[in-house]
Structure 1
Amino acid sequence: MKFTSTARYIATDALTLAVNAAVTLERPLLVKGEPGTGKTELARQVAASLGLPLIEWHVKSTTRAQQGLYEYDAVSRLRDSQLGEARVQDVNAYIRKGKLWQAFEAAGKVVLLIDEVDKADIEFPNDLLQELDRMEFHVYETGETVRARHRPVVIITSNNEKDLPDAFLRRCFFHFIRFPDAETLRAIVGVHFPRIKEDLLAAALAQFYEIRDVPGLKKKPSTSEVLDWLKLILAEDLTAEDLRREGRSLLPKLHGALLKTEQDIHLFERLAFAARR
């Protein structure tokens, strides 16, 4: 199985190499990068490219590693026992399978996405070490051991909000998605907006990279945000000339798609004021 770019996703040579290396090594692929660079979408496109089903586990701040394996509803079982329910004798009726269990018992190979692993508690990655390494776990309530029928392709994403444990990193193949250069970004835009006019695209991307290069910017606009911006520009039927910023304001047209904090908007207003002086 070899991953390549798809009709909806442009992968750099380095990213393609990283995905295929992780598949060959049968190691989880840990993907980092600033938000909006296509980390989550990568898993979906890997599944599409390899022709495999996708199982998504989106991690939150309250997510526990155990939830990825299974959850045992002891409260419901206790209540049913008090009510004399017949199913109380079947422990399996009170076990809810997690995403890892679903991936392990799948009839064929699947892609398992563990999305934004750094959102959870720092112990979350450590609690999954053995399960991801050995591809098995024990169910204490039933005494069974669940083993992967087919080792899944595991893709783990992180926004780099927390440092991950060394023991966890050792078990992964790592790749950092760098922000695309102008040529790659053009190719990405071309996939989403194949009919965009060349002069409009050139003007928009030049302005976009200027914005990203402004010193002191708290949140630089990402790939997904430039795509949103271009979608709005096309919807408003703006031209390359329309994008030209007036001397009084350095803020781009429809800047709400690119600048997401009041600090960054105020920064551009201060720069405009300084330029006028």
Structure 2
Amino acid sequence: MKFTGTESYVATEDLTIAVNAAVTLERPLLVKGEPGTGKTELARQVAGSLGLPMIEWHIKSTTRAQQGLYEYDAVSRLRDSQLGDPKVEDVSNYIKKGKLWQAFDADDKTVLLIDEIDKADIEFPNDLLQELDRMEFHVYETGETIKARQRPIVIITSNNEKELPDAFLRRCFFHYIQFPDEQTMRKIVEVHHPGIKDALLTTALTQFYELRETAGLKKKPSTSEVLDWLKLLLAEDLTAEDLRRDGKTALPKLHGALLKNEQDVHLFERLAFIARGQR
């Protein structure tokens, strides 16, 4: 069972090594990187490449670790008991399986994605230590212990919004997705926009990387944003010549796909003003 990338996902050699190492070690793969660098998509591509079903658990600021195991609906059980419903005799009728339970209960091996774990409370990763390590947990209401039938491939993503506990990190295989260099980006673009004219792509990527490297930029555009930008350029049937800036503005054409806040737009407007004053 080896991951080598897919036709629709360009995986670098170090990324494929990390995925396969995590599978071999049977450890969760913790993937960090800038937003928009394909962390979430990696899990989907691993599942597709290996022919495995996938379970996605998208974490929010309000998500609790217990929700990944199960939730007991005591309120519904109380209401049904007041109504004389006979199903209250079986407490399992009021237990909702979480994403980890679904993965543990699956007959076949699955890929379990725990997406953006850094959005949750700082104690969230610690609350899952034993469950992810031993691949089992106890259901107190029924007295049963749920053990994984097949150890799932666990992929955890983080945008580095907060530090993760050392005890949690020790149990993971770690990989940081570096932002693609221009050569890798060309391969990614070819997957999403096959046959794009080389002159247009060269000019667009030159402007894109110059924009990313501008000092003082609050939010650097990501891989997903450059793909959106190129889609717009192709939809407008623009050429490399059309992308040339006239000196009145330092902003690229259709810059709204790349710059996502007014501070960065104003930054480029000031740069253009300064450049005009120096002529």
- What interval of TM-score do these two structures reach, taking the shorter chain for normalisation? over 0.9
1:52-74: CA deviations, max 9, x gaps? 00100000000000000000000
Q: Does 1:148 align with 2:148?
A: yes
1:96-131: CA deviations, max 9, x gaps? 000000000001000000000000000000000000
Q: Would you identify which runs of 4 or more consecutive aligned residues in structure 1 move more than 6 Å? A: none
Any stretches of 5+ residues in structure 2 without a counterpart?
none
Number of aligned positions between the proteins: 277
Residue 139 of structure 1, CA deviation: 0.2
Give the 5 Å matches for 1:78-227: 78-227=78-227
Equivalence for 1:75:
75
Q: Secondary structure at the match of 2:241?
A: coil
State the alpha-carbon separation in 2 of the partners of residues 48 and 83 from structure 1: 47
Q: Does 1:276 align with 2:276?
A: yes
1:149-173: CA deviations, max 9, x gaps? 0000000000000000000000000
Residue 237 of structure 1, CA deviation: 0.6
State the alpha-carbon separation in 2 of the partners of residues 266 and 247 from structure 1: 15
Equivalence for 2:31:
31
Equivalence for 1:257:
257
Equivalence for 1:14:
14
Equivalence for 2:242:
242
State the alpha-carbon separation in 2 of the partners of residues 172 and 101 from structure 1: 20
Residue 86 of structure 1, CA deviation: 1.0
Q: Secondary structure at the match of 1:121?
A: coil
Q: What's the % identity of the aligned pairs? A: 81
Residue 248 of structure 1, CA deviation: 0.5
Could you state the TM-score of these two structures normalised by the residue count of structure 1?
1.00
State the alpha-carbon separation in 2 of the partners of residues 246 and 256 from structure 1: 18
**Residue type matched to 1:64 in 2?**
R
Residue 5 of structure 1, CA deviation: 1.3
Q: Secondary structure at the match of 1:138?
A: strand
Equivalence for 1:229:
229
Residue 245 of structure 1, CA deviation: 1.1
Residue 262 of structure 1, CA deviation: 0.7
**Residue type matched to 2:243 in 1?**
L
Residue 195 of structure 1, CA deviation: 1.5
**Residue type matched to 1:258 in 2?**
L
**Residue type matched to 1:195 in 2?**
G
State the alpha-carbon separation in 2 of the partners of residues 91 and 145 from structure 1: 15
**Residue type matched to 2:275 in 1?**
A
1:23-79: CA deviations, max 9, x gaps? 000000000001000000000000011110010000000000000000000000000
Residue 188 of structure 1, CA deviation: 0.2
**Residue type matched to 1:35 in 2?**
P
**Residue type matched to 1:134 in 2?**
R
Equivalence for 1:55:
55
Residue 187 of structure 1, CA deviation: 0.2
Equivalence for 1:2:
2
Q: Secondary structure at the match of 1:157?
A: strand
Residue 211 of structure 1, CA deviation: 0.3
